[in-house]
């Protein structure tokens, strides 16, 4: 009998469920366990627990809240092997990739440990005679996060550590496809000393999501996922008076200039396109070659190097990448490859018939290279979210930049070049939120903020880093005077000024 993954509500695991869903091991294609899907009543229970805990948590000193995060960081490091194994079991991510994901999450916890400094606010003495003014960063209350399957450890850690150290209480709705690592990590917070109710986890589908979006007690929602869902989350949240940041899809391009170090570009493209089976919102899925000469060289070297790519089960750490998340998504990726072929592209390396010995029912797609893709093709327009790299050929850098600027997504991009002037011009003018120069995955470190432009982000504030402080707090400015004994002023009807 398969085990059941439950919810974490008010410090306790809750397994009662009217609905459940299978959780698969993508490496083998087998059902490994089931997950409870929360109904509206279960979500209400989690929100109520968070609302009750907020009364005392908001007044807990910032240093004491930070100490919980220090302990939490230690526990994440102590249990890293188990966390990575849980990620592998349900996502299929190879251990070295899972370890990288977890480390980037831990770095956000480290940043949250700086809360006492980050929340100090501002103070001005004698803004007028005897009058002082200061600002405070106050918590919002109950806030929620809705996170995707592709980073079950890292993306939630973008959200709730900072929300919690700012004094909020949190309700997390992780992906129901790979819930175990997320739930286990949340339990470590309780072990770190977090009071019951401050952090709650509810697994579920759209019913659980809508329960969060329509509940007046939830003051802010943070989301990472596909663009259609991001747009729904943002519009529904804001219509219901909530603050919202919703990070959507991507189509990340790398421009390869004629002067680029092609050997380096090929090595970087391989990792950025095929790492985590391409299931990253920052995956480089399009290489834009400037000129046929560099395009031919790129295709030649990529196809040769791709013969050495090794994919398979998460249990073999020598693999470069594993399966995709579901059987349905495997078919979706294959359909995109077939679509490109039908519309005139050249399939240079074909991963559609990928089979792993001993894991024949796993959800595998091999590394795929497609040349002579055009912007009119469906495969170019879509976020394939699989181990597929497409080559688009253009004549000039201006053409390459126009191609990127005209795409609906603006998450990440990079340029491979030895020309500093070209790199500077590209960085200054490209209409994309995160830019790399000879860096294929320009994911900001924890003390900067992550977010794209155009339809890759709905909302004004990016994820984690300095923007997370602004997102999870509201500013209150206080102006105060204590008149000297015996000093009284007459009535003033004009606007107060310093004159």
The residues that bridge with 146 in the sheet, in sequence order, are 173, 223
Position 57 pLDDT exceeds 90: yes
User: Is 36 inside any structural domain?
Assistant: yes
Residues 6 or more apart in contact with residue 261 via CB below 8 angstroms: 416, 418, 438
User: Is 384 inside any structural domain?
Assistant: yes
User: Is 295 inside any structural domain?
Assistant: yes
User: Is 342 inside any structural domain?
Assistant: yes
Position 74 pLDDT exceeds 90: yes
Q: How far is CA 360 from CA 363, 364, 365, in A?
A: 9, 9, 12
Identify the CA nearest to 322 among candidates 387, 262, 259, 376. 387
Mean pLDDT over 161-174 rounds to 98
Q: What is the pLDDT of residue 266?
A: 97
Would you say 54 and 220 are in contact if contact means Cβ atoms under 8 Å apart? Answer: no
Please tell me whether residues 215 and 259 are part of one structural domain: no
Please tell me whether residues 192 and 325 are part of one structural domain: no
Please tell me whether residues 262 and 239 are part of one structural domain: no
DSSP alpha helix (H) spans, 166-291:
180-191, 206-213, 227-239, 262-274
Among this protein's residues, is 281 annotated catalytic? Answer: yes
Which of helix, strand or coil describes residue 388? Answer: strand
Q: How far is CA 428 from CA 395, 450, 465, in A?
A: 21, 18, 22
Please tell me whether residues 393 and 410 are part of one structural domain: yes
Identify the CA nearest to 465 among candidates 74, 110, 64. 110
Residue 36 tokens, joined: 């409870």
Number of structural domains found in the chain: 2
Q: Residue 415's pLDDT band (boundaries 50, 70, 90)?
A: very high
Q: What is the pLDDT of residue 487?
A: 64
Q: Which CATH number do you get for residue 93?
A: 3.40.605.10
Average pLDDT for the chain: 96
Please tell me whether residues 72 and 139 are part of one structural domain: yes
Please tell me whether residues 184 and 226 are part of one structural domain: yes
pTM equals: 0.95
- Sign of the torsion angle spanned by Cα atoms 257, 259, 262, 268: negative
Residue 383 tokens, joined: 């976020």
Please tell me whether residues 308 and 379 are part of one structural domain: yes
Q: Which CATH number do you get for residue 259?
A: 3.40.309.10
User: Is 452 inside any structural domain?
Assistant: no
Position 186 pLDDT exceeds 80: yes
Percent above pLDDT 90 for the chain: 94
Q: What is the pLDDT of residue 71?
A: 98
The residues that bridge with 137 in the sheet, in sequence order, are 475
Tens of pLDDT, residues 25-35: 999 999 999 99
- Sign of the torsion angle spanned by Cα atoms 52, 46, 138, 60: positive
Given the residues 84, 166, 281, 414, select the one marked as catalytic.
281
Mean pLDDT over 217-227 rounds to 97
User: Is 165 inside any structural domain?
Assistant: yes
Q: What is the pLDDT of residue 344?
A: 97
Please tell me whether residues 79 and 142 are part of one structural domain: yes
d(CA 112, CA 480): 31
Q: What is the pLDDT of residue 499?
A: 66
Please tell me whether residues 263 and 242 are part of one structural domain: no
Please tell me whether residues 211 and 353 are part of one structural domain: no
Could you report how far apart the first and last alpha carbons of the chain are, in Å? Answer: 79
Position 130 pLDDT exceeds 90: no
Mean pLDDT over 81-105 rounds to 97
Would you say 480 and 133 are in contact if contact means Cβ atoms under 8 Å apart? Answer: yes
Please tell me whether residues 21 and 72 are part of one structural domain: yes
Position 492 pLDDT exceeds 90: no
User: Is 492 inside any structural domain?
Assistant: no
Position 1 pLDDT exceeds 70: no
Q: How far is CA 97 from CA 152, 181, 260, 316, 430, in A?
A: 12, 15, 27, 12, 30
Position 486 pLDDT exceeds 70: no
Residues 6 or more apart in contact with residue 478 via CB below 8 angstroms: 133, 134, 135, 136
Please tell me whether residues 241 and 256 are part of one structural domain: no
Position 235 pLDDT exceeds 80: yes
Tens of pLDDT, residues 242-263: 999 999 999 999 999 999 999 9
User: Is 330 inside any structural domain?
Assistant: yes
Q: What is the pLDDT of residue 346?
A: 98
The torsion angles phi and psi of 78, rounded to 5 degrees, stand at -65, -35
Q: Residue 270's pLDDT band (boundaries 50, 70, 90)?
A: very high
Mean pLDDT over 171-200 rounds to 98
Query: Domain containing 407: what range?
Result: 252-437
How many degrees, rounded to 5, is the angle at CA 387 between CA 300 and CA 77? Answer: 120
């Amino acid at each position: 009998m398969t085990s059941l993954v439950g919810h974490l509500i008010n410090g306790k695991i809750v397994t009662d469920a009217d609905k459940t869903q299978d959780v698969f091991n993508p490496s083998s294609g087998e059902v490994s366990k089931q997950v409870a899907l929360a109904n509206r009543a279960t979500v209400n229970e989690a929100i109520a627990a968070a609302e009750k805990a907020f009364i005392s948590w908001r007044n807990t000193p910032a240093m004491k809240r930070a100490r919980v995060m220090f302990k939490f960081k230690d526990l994440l490091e102590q249990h890293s092997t188990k966390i990575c194994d849980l990620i592998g079991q349900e996502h299929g991510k190879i251990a070295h990739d899972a370890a990288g994901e977890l480390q980037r999450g831990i770095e956000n916890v480290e940043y949250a440990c700086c809360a006492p400094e980050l929340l100090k606010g501002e103070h001005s003495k004698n803004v007028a005679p005897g009058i002082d003014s200061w600002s405070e960063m106050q918590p919002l209350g109950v806030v929620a996060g809705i996170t995707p399957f592709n980073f079950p450890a890292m993306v939630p850690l973008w959200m709730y550590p900072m929300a919690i150290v700012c004094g909020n209480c949190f309700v997390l709705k992780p992906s129901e496809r790979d819930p175990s690592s997320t739930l286990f990590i949340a339990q470590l917070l309780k072990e770190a000393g977090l009071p019951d109710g401050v952090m709650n986890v509810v697994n579920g589908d759209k019913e659980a999501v809508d329960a969060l979006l329509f509940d007046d007690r939830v003051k802010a929602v943070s989301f990472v996922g596909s663009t259609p869902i991001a747009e729904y989350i943002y519009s529904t949240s804001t219509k219901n008076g909530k603050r919202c940041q919703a990070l959507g899809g991507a189509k990340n391009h790398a421009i390869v200039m004629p002067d680029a170090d092609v050997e380096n570009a090929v090595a970087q493209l391989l990792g950025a396109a095929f790492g985590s089976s391409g299931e990253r919102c920052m995956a480089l899925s399009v290489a834009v070659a400037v000129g046929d000469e560099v395009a031919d060289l790129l295709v030649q070297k990529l196809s040769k190097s791709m013969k050495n790519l090794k994919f398979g089960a998460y249990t073999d750490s020598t693999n470069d990448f594993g399966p995709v998340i579901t059987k349905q998504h495997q078919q979706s990726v294959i359909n995109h490859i077939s679509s490109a072929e039908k519309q005139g592209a050249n399939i240079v390396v074909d991963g559609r018939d990928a089979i792993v010995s001993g894991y024949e029912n796993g959800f595998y797609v091999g590394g795929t290279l497609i040349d002579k893709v055009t912007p009119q093709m469906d495969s170019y327009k879509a976020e394939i979210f699989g181990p597929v790299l497409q080559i688009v050929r253009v004549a000039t850098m201006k053409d390459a930049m126009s191609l990127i600027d005209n795409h609906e997504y603006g998450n990440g991009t990079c340029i491979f070049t030895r020309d500093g002037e070209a790199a500077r011009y590209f960085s200054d003018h490209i209409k994309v939120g995160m830019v790399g120069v000879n860096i294929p995955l320009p994911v900001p470190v924890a003390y900067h903020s992550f977010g794209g432009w155009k339809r890759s982000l709905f909302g004004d504030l990016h994820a984690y880093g300095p923007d997370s402080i602004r997102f999870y707090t509201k500013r209150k400015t206080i102006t105060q005077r204590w008149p000297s004994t015996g000093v009284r002023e007459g009535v003033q009807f004009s606007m107060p000024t310093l004159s």
